[in-house]
Amino acid sequence: MRYHQQQMQTLVNQEPQLKKELNDIKSSMQLENNFALKALYHSAVKDGGKFQQMYQELDVDFKKQ
């Protein structure tokens, strides 16, 4: 499973909890959106994270395009 910025942004837009976490990361670590998205991916999606299944389902949709 690889990180894709557009796919991660779509997941964040669909999940209010992820959107809140993204904003928390951006404000607490003073990161730009792109870096905060990647940090969120590594903490909430990758390697069995809570949102891994949802991310993988989006992966199938993005590969169809």
State whether the Cα torsion 19-32-56-7 is positive or negative: positive
Compute the mean pLDDT over every residue in the chain, rounded to the nearest whole number. 91
pTM: 0.87
Please tell me the distance from the alpha carbon of residue 61 to that of residue 40, in angstroms, as a whole number: 21
Residues 2-32 pLDDT 10s: 899 999 999 999 999 999 999 999 999 999 9
What's the pLDDT at 64?
Answer: 64
